[in-house]
Amino acid sequence: MKHFYSTYMRSIKLCLLFCFSAILTYAQTNISGKVTDKSGSGIPGVSVVVQGSTTGAVTDANGSYQIAAKAGARTLTFSSIGYTLKNVEIGTKTVIDVTLEEDVNSLDEIVVTGYTSERKKDIIGSVAVVNTKSTLQQPSSNLGNMLQGRAPGVTVSGTGAPGAPAKVRIRGFTSFGNNDPLYVIDGVPTDNANALNPQDIESVQVLKDPVSASIYGSRAANGVIVVTTKQGTSGKTTISYDGYYGIQSLPERVFPSMMNTQQYYQYLQAAAAGAGIPFKSNVFQNGIPKYLVTNTNVTANPNDATNPDMSKYNYDPYSYDRTYQIAETSMGTNWLKEATQNAPVQSHQITATGGTDKGTYSLGVNYFGTEGIFKNTGLNRVTVRANTRFKPTKWLTIGENLQVAFTNQYGASGNPFNSGDGLDFNNEASPWYLALRTVPFLPVYDVKGNYAGTSLGEAGSTPVPSSTLARNKDNKFNGFNLFGNLYAQIEVYKDLTISSSFGIDQNMTNGYNFIFITPEKAEPIRNNAFNEYFGRGFSWTWTNSIQYKKDFNKDHSLKIFAATESIFSQFRGISGSRNDYDFNDPDFWSLNTGKNLPQNSGSPGTPRTLYSLMGKVEYQLMDKYLFSATVRRDASSVFGPESRVGIFPAFGIGWRLSEESFMKSIPFVTDLKLRAGWGQMGSQRNVGSANAYSFYSAGLGNTAYDITGGNGLPIIGYRPNVVGNPATKWEAAEMTNVGLDGTLWNGKLDFSIEYFNNTTKDLLVDRQPNGLEPTVGQPKINVGTMVNKGIDIALSTKGKFTTDLGYSIGATFTHYKNEAVKIDAEGSSALLFGAGRLGNIQRVEGGRPLASFWGWQVEGNFQSQAEVDAHAAMPYKRVGSWKIKDINGDKVIDGNDQTYIGNPIPKFQIGTDISLTYKNFDFQTFLFWNYGNDIYNYTKWATHLRGFVGGYNTEVLTDSWTPQNTSGRLPILNANDTYSGSISTSYYVESGSFLRARQAQLGYTLPLKWISKAGMSRARIYVQVQNLFTITKYSGSDPDIGILGNSELQMGVDQFRTPAPRTVLLGVNIGL
């Protein structure tokens, strides 16, 4: 990591030196002044340009500016979004103060909505425009995290793992499989935006309905997020630096209360007493021992517990002999605290922009580095972006947008083949799980300073987190991403434009991991191994379009767009492994240095292709009646010949009520628009490249047979390996949207209210074979229908309390209701899905929300023998045990009594962004409220219910039923109870509602007069706290659960999820 860090820091320093050397300092006349609004308050961020030149400046937080104008300069131009442009003659003045008027026509702002752009007031589809000015001022590691609560209809979930992408969903789900939206970055589509540097972003729009998104066809069924990165502007070169450094730490509330050694000893005694058996323990038979030794038996060898024979100690990581460890008993190792750390995080961004009327450029270099909350984990990322645009002639524009990203991750336990996954620990390989399951009486180190392990007595077999994390530290993952496009635009004549864009998205991934010998484990790994892998994903998109725009007689406006698009994508990967290495030195690791034969595997690399024809017509009458029609025809290679083509139409209408004469008498209504849309979109995301085809395999091990019977050379035949399904069809989504948009009091208040109803038919899932079929790979099949309906609301207001005190408040409201209307999976009306060791805990069935929790309903505990006798027959039925509800009333508790026990979908989510400015100070905070969902706290299986030997939560002592604690929620402790911890019950289901202060930031902008002599046009410092506080009743570590893996079929399950850390940042923004 040090080599990686030093290499890229040297690169950044070189870029700094280059950028600063390019600064030209020249001045003829120094002009200064202040730009204010009509109330006299200074306006920050106003562009001040010497007309006819590349000389410019930007006002500071007070609205002050300084600019050097060459001799002969005549006019200064002042411009800012939300205000009318103003030109002022220079003359002989050296001080020029300006007052700008608010632009009530800010609705004329141009919004990128896909292949084209539109005025904000003309949009009739559902398009959420993210306030990037506020959002980007609050640092975030990726685009997904930026969006939580910022756009109505958008839900986001993530973890605290370094490099882990946020899971973004738009208006619920349209599929049982992948529901990721399509990202379009500078016109190039991609499924993964995790490599995008947030500080390169200029604008973000979210397309949520068919009127706005159907132009993207089969890729847009889950919505589209359109990102435009920073482009150059005419004027002198401006250089900026934006950086921060911070510390991440886990709040105390996320750490559960785990038993210490004394409590664990009491637990073992209580469990034996509850079972009515004598207490027996090889470790604790005579109380808590002073020492632990391998295969402790204090009854047979009492001296080992008090005065062990140190000469027997043996720990050799290269020996196959049995390890003999000796360790002092810990009075209670806090394994969660041992596995975690306060982790530094930092980001450094240098941006240079400028240009002339013939060409503009925007260059950016960013370094982002973070250590993980778990020790010996982390991520480093360097991104370089270059956007250029040239206009060599009046009729031709050419340009490119290019990003290169290098990613280095370390500390992973496996092979993160997909560069977008990051170190997303969320299973039994998670260090959080290992820490929860390790017994408290083990110390971190034995008497010789080696890692202690589970061979020391009755400690189970869970790997100890400290040694696991230390051994994984040299596991590396490296990613390289090249993303961008070349484009050309020809203006045939005033109203007709032809465009062409060729974009690429290439990812190369490689890495390795080493499996060590673990002599200290109760179930040791005795043969080390090395794995190495390489993958290459490549896609290109070629789009050719023609656009015609014409206004007729001021009352009619027509826009016609038509295009063809070809897309190719392919991934190939290869991996190899070998075992039995003589040395554990990372420099020795290679597929050539192991002793046994290497094992190789690879992906087939079947390509995916898509060819599309598309068209869109937009018409306006008298600037108040709006109409839009879109159609796209997609032909996809992933379907069979009969289902390859999909046609997706969409229609929208809009009515600008504010332009009608009867609305003119309502003076506070600046703009009011009613709109509606309908459309269809398909999805191919959940179908593999070769889904339509069956594959056969051959080999000596499984398809060879001596046909002649003469013990001669066997004949190799073929057997089915994967079953194809040429009848698989597109998932078809039909969507309706109705919205009302308004601007009141000349932009003081903006609002948008929308209702949507989305129905998806022919949902795709993996075919479930029956028990008589051979074990072969199964294809996707179409099984049913699902509906999402809901409401999106967005509000924003801005203004001033006093001359110096300004405010801006934005709020979003998201509500949707999900229902699986019909399921028909080859005769089955329901689908079941499992998680971990409790079997099927989620179920999809007609009339119920997706991924509803499934299990037995706990009615409480049996309080008396009479209550036990009167209840239905069930396993482990006794006083103090759980009383399972007899759903069907047949007096027998069995599988027929399972029922729905929870819903993972929230009733609503609200995001509130509050900004205050006072003179040079600014304050921002973002609050996020999630309400009404349930969480399946699977983590409690590991910490509360007896499964394997391991650590336990103190609630097992305080909340288990006893004759003295009849209100306890857990069953009576019983060493023989193998039933309670083996079934899915309502005990695991908790409220998932929470209110979180996602961010709070306080900044101060230095006055221009302080910094101008240093060549700076802007200097701001700030302090920010992320995840300042969380209010919740959820007992787990973090209620922001979201999706397990990448499927909504397992959403809302807390399976040892890495909690989000609290981060304190100190940052600066500097402009030159």
410-444 burial, b at 16+ Cβ within 10 Å, e below that, comes to: bbbbebbbbbbbbbbbbbeebbbbbbbbbbbbbbb
Give domain 2-99's CATH number out of 2.60.40.1120, 3.30.70.20, 3.30.565.10, 2.60.120.330.
2.60.40.1120
pLDDT of 28 over the 80 cut = no
What would the mean pLDDT of 510-539 be, rounded to a whole number? Answer: 89
- CA dist 329 and 923 (Å) reads 51
Tokens of residue 825, six digits: 């999976």
Residues carrying CATH 2.60.40.1120, the chain: 2-99
Predicted pLDDT of residue 9: 46
679-693 burial, b at 16+ Cβ within 10 Å, e below that, comes to: bbbbbbbbbbbbbbe
| Dihedral-angle region of residue 217 (phi above 0 means left; psi in -120 to 50 means alpha; beta otherwise) | left
Tokens of residue 906, six digits: 């929230």
- C-alpha distances (whole Å) from 987 to each of 493, 672, 902, 935 are 70, 50, 11, 11
Beta bridge partners of 749: 744, 797
Predicted pLDDT of residue 791: 97
SS3 content of the chain, % helix, strand, coil (to 5): 15, 45, 40
Give the model confidence (pLDDT) of 810-825 as tens digits.
Answer: 999 999 999 988 887 6
Per-residue pLDDT band for 39 (boundaries 50, 70, 90) equals: low
Return the H-helix or E-strand segment holding 867: helix 865-870
Beta bridge partners of 206: 128, 225
Closest CA to 460 of 430, 437, 486: 437
- In whole numbers, what is the pLDDT of the chain averaged over residues? 87
Predicted pLDDT of residue 107: 58
pLDDT of 683 over the 50 cut = yes
Spell out the CATH class of 106-232: mainly beta
- CA dist 1001 and 1004 (Å) reads 10
Q: Which residue carries 């209701």 as its tokens?
A: 817
Return the H-helix or E-strand segment holding 688: none
Closest CA to 404 of 477, 487, 504: 504
Return the H-helix or E-strand segment holding 431: helix 431-437
Q: What residues contact 686, with CB distance under 8 A and at least 6 apart?
A: 175, 176, 177, 178, 731, 764, 780
Beta bridge partners of 547: 497, 561
Residues carrying CATH 2.170.130.10, the chain: 106-232
Task: Find out whether 265 and 288 touch, Cβ atoms under 8 Å.
Answer: yes
Predicted pLDDT of residue 782: 80
What would the mean pLDDT of 267-293 be, rounded to a whole number? Answer: 94
Q: Record the pTM.
A: 0.88
Helix or strand or coil: residue 101? coil
Question: What DSSP letter does each residue of 958-1006 carry, written as one string?
Answer: HSB-BTTBTT-SBPPP-TT--SGGGS-BGGGEEE--EEEEEEEEEEEEP
Predicted pLDDT of residue 1066: 97
Task: Find out whether 62 and 919 touch, Cβ atoms under 8 Å.
Answer: yes
Predicted pLDDT of residue 826: 62
Closest CA to 346 of 1068, 1071, 1070: 1068
Pairing of strands 98-99, 29-36: parallel
What would the mean pLDDT of 208-222 be, rounded to a whole number? Answer: 89
Task: Find out whether 485 and 400 touch, Cβ atoms under 8 Å.
Answer: yes
DSSP E strand stretches across 749-879: 749-761, 764-766, 780-782, 784-800, 805-823, 830-834, 840-845, 852-855, 858-861
pLDDT of 713 over the 70 cut = no
pLDDT of 711 over the 50 cut = yes
- CA dist 259 and 957 (Å) reads 9
pLDDT of 8 over the 90 cut = no
Share of the chain above pLDDT 90, in %: 53
What is residue 451's DSSP assignment? Answer: B
Q: Which residue carries 């023998």 as its tokens?
A: 865
- CA dist 1063 and 1060 (Å) reads 9
Question: Radius of gyration (Cα) for the chain, nearest Å?
Answer: 32
Cα dihedral 155/158/164/169 (nearest 10)? -20
Task: Find out whether 200 and 403 touch, Cβ atoms under 8 Å.
Answer: yes
pLDDT of 489 over the 90 cut = yes
Predicted pLDDT of residue 110: 75
Predicted pLDDT of residue 671: 92
**Phi, then psi, of 8 in degrees rounded to 5:** -75, -30
pLDDT of 914 over the 90 cut = yes
Predicted pLDDT of residue 426: 56
Helix or strand or coil: residue 88? strand
What would the mean pLDDT of 170-182 be, rounded to a whole number? Answer: 85
Closest CA to 545 of 582, 586, 497: 497
